[in-house]
Amino acid sequence: MATQSGLVFTAPGSPLNVVDNLPRLHPERGQVLIKPEFVALCPVDSLMAQTGAFVTDTPAVLGSGFYGTVTEVGFGCARLKEGDLVFGLGSLGRTAYSPFQDSFLIDERLPFRKGKILSPQDAASLGVSLTTAALGIFAGRHMLAPKRSESVRELQEWVVILGGSGNVGQCAIQLGRFCGFKIAASCSLSNRKTVVKNGAHATFDSRATVEKQVAEVLHITHGNEVGHFMHVFDASGVGHDVAFESLKRSTENFKFFSTVDASGSFAAPAPIKEYRVQAGMLSYPGDKNVKDADEVARMAPVLDEYIENGDIRPAEFDIFDGVGWGALKDALGRYNPESRKTMVVRVQ
């Protein structure tokens, strides 16, 4: 049996091991094989390694964000070809679909093309946040950014983004602007500049009381209680109270809440429609995952054009000094999930 190298998880909390006996994979219909060049560590990587969350089989290969080269295409692939440079998010906890190995599988519709402007490191660091933000802004509402070549009309509709200073939030602001929305984003006062640089029209303090944040949202979106907004995307995972209270006061008939908190025990009060992003589940079976994968498949070619033209930029990230699976093991040992920055590691 042909084998390959990678980093393997055996038990929660144990250091991952470098091995060279993983089975070589081959793409099935609609899949491509990716050779990851850079991977990006984010809190979910530590969570999986420390607790075994998402892990479906043991020993398991882990990983989430990646940038790499398509090395083999399965039957029926129409979008990607051998040699294409792509980035994105693997399928959390499923060995064959996880990037911490010489090559792994992915549905050919899901990754984004790197284009000429992003560096490989930029691309790796964007994989998780861009996929998550795209779902948070577009999916559930069944909308899509206009093609880049189309002229965008500036709309009077505000989209409220909670946690606009984070990795996901910064991408979400950029995506919202492509659609012509006005963006009101929350952040700590010290992160205001970052949020404005990403394109937000207005900011409010994410650490103020719920009442104050709601008042700010209403003030920004029209200076009184009839705000013209219908969508709040919580990219912080801690903002559902602010979202629900703000949406209750919106005069729009359609009220939409999307969130990165996939498992919180809250429920949006009627008539607010709720959508939870589960970006790492795209290749899992199940109606929601299949629908979400279809949404990303619709978005990816459109977003590729923005990426190609340098319109999508990552949040600040760190680069680990070292190359290979051993370096990735060291990086995981040193990565602090409390840090705001993803850590990009060159693995091959």
Residues that bind ligand NAP (CB under 6 A): 42-43, 128-129, 132, 163, 165-169, 187-188, 191, 206-207, 235-238, 260, 262, 277-280, 340
Least Å distance between CB 59 and ligand NAP? 24
Rg of the Cα atoms in the chain: 20
- Residue 2 has φ and ψ, to the nearest 5°, of -70, 140
Least Å distance between CB 336 and ligand NAP? 11
The bridge status of strand 229-234 relative to strand 256-259 is parallel
Nearer to ligand NAP, 129 or 283 (CB): 129
Q: Report the half-sphere exposure of 225 (CA within 13 A, side-chain side).
A: 3
State which H helix or E strand residue 130 sits in. helix 120-138
Nearer to ligand NAP, 53 or 226 (CB): 53
Least Å distance between CB 76 and ligand NAP? 27
Say which DSSP state 179 is in. Answer: T
Q: Which token pair is 332?
A: 């995981």
Least Å distance between CB 341 and ligand NAP? 8
- Residue 68 has φ and ψ, to the nearest 5°, of -170, -170
Least Å distance between CB 303 and ligand NAP? 17
Nearer to ligand NAP, 25 or 247 (CB): 247
Nearer to ligand NAP, 121 or 206 (CB): 206
- Concatenated DSSP letters for 191-245? GHHHHHHTT-SEEEETTS-HHHHHHHHHHHHHSSS---EEEEEESSSS-HHHHHH
- What whole-number distance in Å separates Cα of residue 307 and Cα of residue 310? 5
State which H helix or E strand residue 299 sits in. helix 287-308
Nearer to ligand NAP, 33 or 183 (CB): 183
Nearer to ligand NAP, 31 or 236 (CB): 236
| Strand arrangement, sheet containing 256-259 | 202-205, 182-187, 158-162, 229-234, 256-259, 273-276
- Concatenated DSSP letters for 34-72? EEEEEEEE-HHHHHHHHH-TT--SSSEE---EEEEEEEE
Q: How large is the greatest C-alpha to C-alpha distance in the chain, in angstroms?
A: 68
Least Å distance between CB 168 and ligand NAP? 4
Nearer to ligand NAP, 296 or 307 (CB): 296
Nearer to ligand NAP, 169 or 176 (CB): 169
- What whole-number distance in Å separates Cα of residue 206 and Cα of residue 73? 45
SS3 159: strand
Least Å distance between CB 131 and ligand NAP? 8
Nearer to ligand NAP, 17 or 209 (CB): 209
- What whole-number distance in Å separates Cα of residue 179 and Cα of residue 176? 5
Tokens 């459109």 belong to 302
Least Å distance between CB 166 and ligand NAP? 2
Least Å distance between CB 151 and ligand NAP? 30
